[in-house]
Amino acid sequence: MSPTNLADTARPIPRRRAWPGVVILALAPLWFLGMFDRGLWTPDEPREADISWRMSQQIDRSIPHLAGAPFLEKPPLTYWLAATSISAFGDSAALERLPNLLYALIVATAIGTLAARMAGRDAALVAALLAGSALISYRVAIWLAPDAALLAGCAVALLGAYTGYTAGAGARKFWGYTLMHAGAAFGFMAKSAPGWIVPALALGTLILWERRWAELRRWELYAGAALQALMIGPWVWAVASAPGGADSLRVFFWDNLAGRFTALAQTPGHAYAQGHLNWWGKYLVELPAYLMPWTVLGAAALARAWTQVRLSATAEHPAQAATPWRFAVSAFLPFLVLLSLAATARDVYAAPAILGFALLVALWAHALRRRASGADEACLRITRVLVAVIACLFAALLALLAAAERERTISVADLAVAVAVVPLALVALRFAAMLQRSKMYAESIAATYAAYALAFCVTGLLVLPVIDRWQDLSALARQIERDCAGGELAVFDPDETTIAMLDHRSRMTFTTLAGRPDEAGRVFADWFRGHGAQARVLVMLPGHAPGDVSRVLARWYPFALPDDGLAGALAASGSARISTRYELPQGRRYALLSAASP
């Protein structure tokens, strides 16, 4: 079929009406693969799983607990929902992530609906696909962590903020701003202040940009705050009424907010400014990676926005023509600037900014129907090339796993898929090119997404089980439990993953030992002296264990084997004896120490 005939035979009205179903069907393979076809991975997921499991056992659910100790970093909404899933269906990685599917659906439908109100149904398709598949927003969506619910709350709040801002006085404005408050409260109960900050910065920046000061006097803007009070107030009251409630609230509302921006005096154990240190410009430098594989489209949309945000009222452009573009910019740029000022930084913190970028790219794709420059057309082609390169990298990864795999059947399967994944992606990319030539730009982006999703999912089906073996903390915890039978276990200076691993998967009782490395000999001696010859101490070893993949790569790039760190030093000094070593291939290393022989 020629490009002209392709455009002539298209039936845009039924397709446009069906955009939510198209988006959900298109994103479902990515969601199901990432949420339900893998175990618990570091960072964070083992900790979040333990907190969720503990929440399912708690009578008082106002404060989350990690291994029985209060965990005061985030409000409990995501733990409530994960605990409900555990109580109803059982305790497994897939079932703990079941609420993530709800969060992902909310993000896709909310951002798609917002883009539809800005520019039509073709924009809805693009915005929803990009918000669901951009690297950092997809990682957040599938990860067992509060960020997924925060992203859903932010998407709903942005939809409400734009609806309220653009509506005339009355019921529509009221319901729009009320929706904003509902989303902000949901986001707050998931991950505290960012649930408020994202919509507040977006709306506040837009009001300042367009000098619509009268909007700040609208009763509709504030009426929905009562809904926030109803959603947040009972939880705050429950925390305040619990023993040590004032201290808990200070950690929730002060340390977790100010503590991310400055090293002010904080509650012991909650010095957040000391971890994940930030540096100015980090988020802007890493932004191209966050947007993959849509980085080039994001750059093209930013270039178009530079003109669109400065539009004035003309016969060609109505007075409100610039507002959608300004709102999209307001939805990500102020938030990224604010994150750049923080003392702490993690890539997932920037996920809400991807929602603004998804809207911006959707507006750009819609604008191409009116006028597409040669540079715009080139950006679409470059994106297809980028997806093809990603497919080639996936094929190379499968070939590497095939070379490392000891089971012949699995190795052959890896090689077969490695050979097939690139041609499969190229078929979809060729169709995307045909759609672009027919000036069906939104559909071309959707076909490019299909190529990416196809390569990602086919590769993931074979790669995820391998990573599961590298991350199998449950098996490691059960082995430690067997080796410690009949004696008491202590863990020296454990991280949260180690604590969660022992508490959640082995359900064993253990004691935490703390101290500086130079004090470890005395701390260990005191423990062994007080708990007998059967007592053990678990110590995490530095580095990662070798595995089949590293052995293959060592043919070209030799890796230095990690040493035993503190455990080795104690054994060498005669302060303790290494009884057992535990290693996950390409993963964590531990040593179980016992008292030195007399």
260 — pLDDT class (breaks 50, 70, 90): low
Q: What does the pLDDT read at residue 251?
A: 86
Q: Which residues does 181 contact at the CB level (< 8 Å), separation at least 6?
A: 157, 160, 224, 225, 227, 228
Q: What tens digit of pLDDT does each residue of 73-130 get?
A: 899 999 999 999 999 999 999 999 999 999 999 999 999 999 999 999 999 999 999 9
Amino acid 444 reads S
> Which residue has tokens 């064993």?
508
Look at 376 and 517; give whichever has higher pLDDT: 376
Q: How far is CA 60 from the centre of its chain?
A: 28
Domain with CATH 3.40.190 in the chain: 473-594
HSE-CB of 532 using CA atoms within 13 angstroms: 6
2 — pLDDT class (breaks 50, 70, 90): very low
Q: What does the pLDDT read at residue 273?
A: 47
Round to whole Å and give the CA distance between 219 and 239: 31
Give the pair of three-digit tokens for residue 57.
């056992």
Q: What does the pLDDT read at residue 3?
A: 41
- Cis (ω within 30 of 0) for the bond into 542? no
Amino acid 187 reads G
Beta bridge mates, 98: none
Q: What does the pLDDT read at residue 12?
A: 44
Q: What does the pLDDT read at residue 314?
A: 43
Round to whole Å and give the CA distance between 372 and 361: 14
Q: What tens digit of pLDDT does each residue of 43-68 get?
A: 899 999 999 999 999 999 999 999 99
Segment (H or E) for 114 = helix 98-119
pLDDT at 189 over 60: yes
Round to whole Å and give the CA distance between 511 and 315: 74
Q: What does the pLDDT read at residue 343?
A: 77
Q: What tens digit of pLDDT does each residue of 381-434 get?
A: 999 999 999 999 999 999 999 999 888 898 999 999 999 999 999 999 999 999
Is the CATH number 2.160.20 carried by domain 473-594? Answer: no
Helices (H), 38-97: 45-57, 77-89, 93-96
Q: What does the pLDDT read at residue 1?
A: 39
pLDDT at 358 over 80: yes
Round to whole Å and give the CA distance between 314 and 328: 22
Q: What tens digit of pLDDT does each residue of 488-547 get?
A: 999 999 999 999 999 997 777 899 998 888 888 899 999 999 998 899 999 999 999 999
